Amino acid sequence: MMSRLLINLIFFLCFFAFTHEKNEDNNLFLEIGGGHLPIFLYILKSIGQKYKFQILEEQNFKVQIPQEYEDYLKYTYKLEDMKFKDSKVVIFSGSIQYIENYMKILEKIFSNKVKNVFITETMFTNKSEDTFVLQNNMLNVKFPNIFISFKKFNKLFDENNYELVFQTKRKVGKYSHNILNKGEFFVKDLVYKLKEQT
């Protein structure tokens, strides 16, 4: 099975090609939850052009950015410092399910009319409401996690004038839950695009 990073990288690189308009001079791309290996660092290394990327992450993620990319790749630790107004793409790289109030970020995306939103490697359910759980990792480390209601989530984007232009759905594999059965939750990758104004 491919690693999460590889899935995210393939997924985003494919759609970067479709969403990037070369005639625009001011392109800013935002990643929510880039962790220690932000997807945008790989993009900078592979495309041969220098676009601006901003990554929102928790304070404890201290990443050494190669000097040649320091002017193009910036880590931010406060939501208020993210430049949604100037951004073309926002990607949640497997992170939205761990954000306590992800609606705050979505509201900023919607109000600033960000053209493209990518959500990768995220747990969804077929229930009508979100399900809050504790994720149990190796060494018995537990932390909050949200299994997002896909029906509710998709409706929210539709109500804010976004269309779902691409999606995948994968089995949960090794994941298990002590209340939900494996048929009730799944992993999805999504691409939403702002509808053209008429």
Determine what percent of the chain is predicted with pLDDT higher than 70. 68
Q: How many CB atoms lie within 10 A of CB 170?
A: 12
Beta-bridge mates of residue 28: 52, 87
Tell me whether residue 5 is exposed, middle or buried, using C-beta atoms within 10 angstroms of its C-beta: 0 to 12, 13 to 18, 19 or more: middle
Strand partners, 134: 144
> 24 pLDDT exceeds 60?
no
DSSP characters for 129-187? S-EEEEEE-GGG-EEEEEEEEHHHHHHHHHHTTEEEEEEEEE--TT---SSS-TTSEEE
Between 79 and 143, the more confident residue is 79
Tens-digit pLDDT profile for residues 61-98: 667 777 887 888 888 888 888 889 878 889 898 889 88
> What pLDDT was estimated at residue 192?
93
Task: Kindly state the average pLDDT of the residues 36-56.
Answer: 69
Q: Where are the domains of the chain?
A: 4-15+25-194
CATH superfamily entry for domain 4-15+25-194: Vaccinia Virus protein VP39 (3.40.50.150)
- CA separation for the pair 108, 80 (Å, rounded): 10
Tallying the residues shown for the chain, one arrives at: 198
**Higher local confidence (pLDDT), 168 or 157:** 157
pLDDT in tens, 97-121: 888 788 999 999 999 999 889 998 8
